[in-house]
């Protein structure tokens, strides 16, 4: 009887994975378009703008990240953003002058930046490849992991591309 022992070479390599999906924000992100509160969708008329902003139900933004956008080429004065922020601040967990996609990236970068990465210290680490992730995440991960790890790779544990070896 032939008893072969199968060895998982990927597991035996001692390489551990750093996966961006472990740090993906779970906060719902919504956009608030200022255009809807402008005269003819283009002009900030102070009195009308203030009334329109005051009439909004801000509770719909509770525990959400809010991207403030203007989908027209209107010139928005800084006080208008301040007024919106004053109304949103009791509800939203995060507010920025960006679209939802950019806010997702910003929140993702924050989660990685403030993550406890000490378990990667002196390890062989592969940053998992995801073609749909923004390259800024890879840049950030490299900057944070390089001072900690023994070696840094890209791809998958079974077939990584070496980026840095100490």
Q: What is the pLDDT of residues 104-129, one digit of tens each?
A: 999 999 999 999 999 999 999 999 99
Model confidence band, residue 40 (pLDDT cutoffs 50, 70, 90): confident
> The pTM is what?
0.85
pLDDT at 165 exceeding the cut of 70: yes
pLDDT at 39 exceeding the cut of 90: no
Residues 120-157: pLDDT tens digits? 999 999 999 998 999 999 999 999 999 999 999 999 98
User: Residue 81: what pLDDT?
Assistant: 96
Count of all residues that appear for the chain in the document: 166
Model confidence band, residue 2 (pLDDT cutoffs 50, 70, 90): low
Q: Tell me how far CA of residue 128 lies from CA of 16, 65, 102, 135, in angstroms.
A: 10, 27, 21, 12
Model confidence band, residue 13 (pLDDT cutoffs 50, 70, 90): confident
The residues that bridge with 154 in the sheet, in sequence order, are 127, 161
Q: How far apart are CA 29 and CA 63, in angstroms?
A: 9
User: Residue 148: what pLDDT?
Assistant: 96
Q: Tell me how far CA of residue 149 lies from CA of 55, 129, 152, in angstroms.
A: 53, 18, 7
3-state percent breakdown (helix, strand, coil) of the chain, nearest 5: 40, 20, 40
Q: How far apart are CA 141 and CA 8, in angstroms?
A: 27
Structural contact between residues 161 and 154, judged by C-beta atoms closer than 8 angstroms = yes
């Amino acid at each position: 009887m032939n008893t072969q022992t199968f060895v998982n070479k990927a597991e035996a390599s001692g390489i551990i994975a750093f996966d961006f999906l472990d740090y993906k924000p779970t906060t719902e992100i919504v956009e608030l378009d200022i255009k809807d509160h402008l005269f003819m969708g283009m002009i900030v008329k102070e009195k009308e703008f203030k009334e329109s902003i005051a009439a909004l139900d801000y509770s719909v933004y509770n525990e959400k990240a809010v991207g403030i956008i203007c989908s027209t080429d209107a010139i928005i004065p800084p006080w208008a953003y301040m007024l919106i922020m004053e109304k949103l601040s009791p509800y939203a967990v995060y507010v920025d002058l960006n679209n939802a996609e950019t806010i997702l990236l910003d929140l993702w970068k924050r989660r990685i930046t403030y993550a406890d990465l000490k378990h990667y210290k002196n390890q062989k680490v592969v940053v998992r490849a995801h073609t749909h992730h923004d390259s800024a995440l890879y840049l950030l991960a490299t900057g944070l992991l390089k001072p900690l790890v023994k070696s840094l790779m890209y791809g998958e544990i079974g077939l990584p591309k070496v980026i840095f070896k100490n």
